[in-house]
Amino acid sequence: MSAGAALQTAVVSALAAVTKLTGVFDGPPARAAYPYAAIDASTESDWSHKSGQGREVLLAITLWDDQPTRLQALADEAEAAVLAISVAGGWQLVSLVLTRRKTVRDIAGPWASALNFRARMLAV
């Protein structure tokens, strides 16, 4: 299993515990009730060292909701849930940091809160 896939699996499990989310999707869903999350952990780069394989994975989580107040609380809960994960699937999580968090609104649609993380992982 790739580092990104292992990370994404762990994040899906962590976000499933956020009870107010109606769903967690691997990409934008065709139809979903608010609030929901879409995640992507497919951007990987080499983070190997002399005697082992490593990956740096960029994780993007977008929370969608039509209520901005509820969205901020969900973003807080999602951030805490993600920062508490442990990764399996043959990978050890060395570091996981939030690199950016931003909330915006589409003029004709819902609010979105984007949470971006950088994970550094080593193969075990």
Residue range of the domain that includes 111: 3-123
Report the alpha-carbon distance of residue 35 to residue 53 in Å, rounded: 37
| CA dist list (Å): 24 to 20, 80, 108 | 11, 16, 23
Contact 41, 58 (CB under 8 A): yes
With 0.75 as the threshold, say if the pTM is over it: yes
Report the alpha-carbon distance of residue 64 to residue 67 in Å, rounded: 9
Domain tally for the chain?
1
Residue 81 pLDDT greater than 90, yes or no: yes
Across 84-91, average pLDDT: 93
CATH number of the structural domain spanning residue 74: 3.30.2000.30
Read off the pLDDT band of 109 (50, 70, 90): confident
- The pLDDT, as a whole number, for residue 9 is 95
Question: How do beta strands 36-46 and 54-65 pair?
Answer: antiparallel
The residue type of 116 is N
